[in-house]
Structure 1
Amino acid sequence: MQQLTTLARDSRALAALAVPLALTQLAQVALTTTDTIMMGVLGTEALAAGGLALVIFNQLRTMGVGLATSVGNQVAAAAARAERAGTAEPTGTAADADTDAADQEVRGLVRAAMAVATLAGLAGAVLMVLIGQAATWLGQDAEVAHRAQGMLAALAPGLVPCLWFQAIRQFTVGMRRPQALLRITLASVAVNAALNWAFIHGTWGLPRLGLTGIGVATSSVYLLSFLALYASARRDDRLAPLLSLDFWRADAATVRRLLGLGTPIAATYGSEAGFFSVTALLAGSFGPAALAAHTAVNQLIYIVFQVAVGLSHAASINVSRELALGEYAAARRIKNTALACGAVVMTVVGTLYLALPDLVLRPYFDPNAPTDQQGLKIATGLLVVVAVLQFFDCAQNIGVGLLRGLDDTRSGFRITLVGYWAVGLPASWLLAYPLGGETRGLWFGLLIGLATTAVLLLRRYGRALTARAATAPDAVAAGA
């Protein structure tokens, strides 16, 4: 009974940060979901081409986000240290000096994060266009590749403001003030849908761009979202004094520290995104219908994955905070709480997939359209695999966040290399080609890779936390 009471209390504490983050993530994924639905309206070939473009864009965007992700942990730790010093010394010069030092550290972290985001956005935009040009060399249909290139060219300019938004986002999350994120992201969904329609069909005096118009609309929304988040932070009395966007003045040592922590995170995110990207390319080798089915189901996974991302970020921030306060037992409990919360959500969603597959896939395929029949059939079969796969996908994402809370970002990267590439990808290839499983075989391989990764990450967190607690003189929790 005591354990249930503790779990309930910890769940409420985790949810206070995880719920707004998860809702924000879900609102953000609504942007690409809207894009995907609009592609489906344009036909199976447009869905295949647009899906290929989004795979490439998300690969580079995800890695760019990873470079700035550690900012939230660093900000949270600095704030916790200031809080701890203030508790020990409620008044006086020493407490004020500690607070000022923490504020200065946070301000420097924001500058450095913006510098990293700018460089990553520019480099990613160039790579995006180059990869699009090489799509036909990767086994994609020539017409699909050509249409994807136009969309990638339109998406590329939006990468810099997208990463600026993420840098400011990590700052607000680390300060435990993420509420404005949800309002802004919800508004961006409506704006994105309207601009998608306008640029696709040429309404309101705008040019008719078809599939490319979706990329133009998405880039515009990323810029507007960044401006809105910046304006919101400037109106917050606590955040405004710490918000420094003059990234050209960033301290080189702070930039190196963020890159040292962020590069393995980016590599970890990229490793996962790359794992899914390669399987998308493999799915494309089975034809446009298989790629369309893969795109639709992958988008569903991406939607549910945002709940795991919210839990992962909240758990990560809370681990950083508890370690800064010396509460090692609390940091250990965070793992179990996050996994339990994730399992509840995945069970509900998996039941929906199995009970109502036609409803779930209706936004992507028209069951009355002959050209959509094959893609719908393939996607329906994939939902059975996905219902199980998402448990491991959630668990491995939480594991990455927990390790990030320990500032152990390198282990996550090494483990994903093993789980995704040494286990998952060979399994996908074997099940899809030699064993004849085709697209479903690819997804069974994904499941195996994610399961392996989850087990290794969670085991590493438990061992690393135990080792740190054993050598920490200020551990205050019993059993640490």
Structure 2
Amino acid sequence: MRPVAHPPTPGWQAETRETLRLAGPLALANMLQMLTYAIDVIFIARIGAQELAASSLAVAVFGLVLWSLQSLTGAVAPIMASELGARAPALRPVRRSVRMALWLSALLSVIGMAVCLLTPALMRATGQDPALTALAGEYMAILLWSGPAMIVAGVLRNFVATLGRPLFATAITAVGIGINAIGNYAFIFGNLGAPALGLQGAAIATLITSISVVAFYALAIRLDPRLHRYRIMGFFWRPDWPRFMEIVRIGTPIAITVLAEAGVFGAAAFLMGRVGALELAAHTVALNLAAFAFQVPFGVGQAATIRVGYFVGANDRLGIARAGWTGIAMGTGFMVFTAIAFLVMPQALLAIYLDPGASGNAALVEVATGFLVIAAAFQLFDGIQAVAAGALRGLKDTRVPMWIAVFSYWLPGFGLAAGLGLGTSLGGTGVWIGLATGLVFAAALLLWRWRARERLGLTPA
């Protein structure tokens, strides 16, 4: 068999262009996805503070479960990228990888829904207000049915992005925003002939949106010649157990990493619930802004996973280095601007969710502004850890980063958040100091591991 000829390693400028070509649409799609959640917050906030607090607790659990399971199936991205780097177009290997990821999605959906059903019990165990617990349980009973479609959509998104069609993810997410906004408008307040269901109406809107997104992905894959040639639903009943287990092997540490990171932010919501309803509402709004900014380095990290994975398949160590460092520089550079924005224009940003000039919102705005000051301090570290983790995933290095995340977020991170938040007069501010500390530790350790990748034997010989 003749060796496969690979193109020369891109220079720094060429690699920057390639990373931007992937990261731009993915980051925009991530931001649009966050805008979908923000729309929920905007509509639910107009029902009342009680409903907003209840939904934030339910979403803390649902988001934790969903993000971790999507990350597990997301291990298909570096696998596909490596296959393309080794021998493009790799029709059969890519098709089998997507097929097994979809099989895994079905299994994980059942597990995820079962976990979501435990939300009321979890809230009672953590001492949440009984009225909030009841509202959150009603909301979650509908919301959890969105999980299977969202996990499948995550696999299809990885497929189209790895195959060079990241703009599809952006466009489909944008359409989903419109569907979600209309659904919230109709089912929360009883417009457009729909019943007025309040908080439960918001969950119905999310369910409709998630199903619609999967349908649009299926349509896009069917109509695009490059994507359709892979025929990802062909021979769907045929198992490929070695590939299935490879996704599980690589993806399980990623899922645990996400559980460690997202879990500490979810647990912070429960800590805030213990501090007070005002602090919980302010935490919800401020965290939405911080999470919105995070979507850019997160998208750059997704692009770094694909680019690094491609060069792993091509056995190109120089390409690996350039892809990883390019992503880290881009992600960190963007977070400099968000940190400045949080410091100089906090009220303008908070105005997205509420009216800062209203007398009834004065206390909420003051607390949320304080949280944004701390968020500005950890923006750089959040960007570094997001992209460094993505680059390491491109190397299929997920086990040690998992332990780094567990240590960083739960020992110095959550330990300090709980101690300062509940044990001192700092309250909610102490919780956010703890969150920032966890991100600093994670960024430092992941960046060290990326720099030491060759010495640690993580790159191909």
Alignment of 1:118-133 (within 5 A): 118-133=106-121
CA–CA distance in 2 between the matches of 1:153 and 1:371? 31
**1:306-354 alpha-carbon deviations (Å, 9 max, x no partner):** 1011100111111111122222122122333222212221121222211
Change (3 A) 1:202 1:248: farther
CA–CA distance in 2 between the matches of 1:248 and 1:203? 43
**1:331 maps to 2:331:** no
Residue in structure 1 matched with residue 147 of structure 2 by the alignment: 159
Alignment of 1:256-335 (within 5 A): 256-335=245-324
Residue in structure 1 matched with residue 37 of structure 2 by the alignment: 32
Larger CA deviation: 240-249 vs 385-394? 240-249
Native 8 Å contact 2:257 2:405 kept in 1: yes
Residue in structure 2 matched with residue 174 of structure 1 by the alignment: 162
**1:43 maps to 2:73:** no
**1:172-225 alpha-carbon deviations (Å, 9 max, x no partner):** 122222221111111110110010010001122222110111111011101100
Alignment of 1:383-422 (within 5 A): 383-422=372-411
CA–CA distance in 2 between the matches of 1:248 and 1:417? 37
**1:357 maps to 2:346:** yes
Native 8 Å contact 1:71 1:174 kept in 2: no
Listed as ranges, the gaps of 5+ residues in structure 2 are: 1-9
Native 8 Å contact 2:31 2:296 kept in 1: yes
The match for 1:441 among 420, 430, 438 is: 430
Shift of 1:400: 1.3
Q: Secondary structure of 2:75's partner?
A: helix
The match for 1:459 among 448, 451, 455 is: 448
Listed as ranges, the gaps of 5+ residues in structure 1 are: 84-98, 473-480
Q: Secondary structure of 2:275's partner?
A: coil
The match for 1:61 among 59, 66, 83 is: 66
The match for 1:215 among 170, 195, 203 is: 203
Residue in structure 2 matched with residue 423 of structure 1 by the alignment: 412
Native 8 Å contact 2:275 2:422 kept in 1: no
CA–CA distance in 1 between the matches of 2:117 and 2:71? 21
Residue in structure 1 matched with residue 6 of structure 2 by the alignment: none
Native 8 Å contact 2:304 2:387 kept in 1: yes
CA–CA distance in 2 between the matches of 1:23 and 1:331? 24
Residue in structure 2 matched with residue 113 of structure 1 by the alignment: 101
CA–CA distance in 2 between the matches of 1:470 and 1:138? 44
Shift of 1:291: 0.4
Shift of 1:249: 3.0
Change (3 A) 1:247 1:287: farther
Residue in structure 2 matched with residue 96 of structure 1 by the alignment: none
The match for 2:222 among 228, 234, 251 is: 234
Shift of 1:248: 4.3
**1:353-397 alpha-carbon deviations (Å, 9 max, x no partner):** 111111111133333544433222110111110011121111111
Residue in structure 1 matched with residue 5 of structure 2 by the alignment: none
* Number of matched pairs: 451
Native 8 Å contact 2:336 2:379 kept in 1: no
Change (3 A) 1:41 1:363: farther
Shift of 1:104: 1.1
Native 8 Å contact 1:136 1:145 kept in 2: yes
**Identical aligned pairs, as a percentage?**
31
- Of Structure 1 and Structure 2, the greater helix share is in 1
**1:203 maps to 2:180:** no
**1:142 maps to 2:130:** yes
CA–CA distance in 2 between the matches of 1:6 and 1:440? 45
Change (3 A) 1:435 1:118: same
Native 8 Å contact 1:133 1:149 kept in 2: no
Q: TM-score, normalised by structure 1?
A: 0.90
Output the aligned Cα RMSD.
1.8
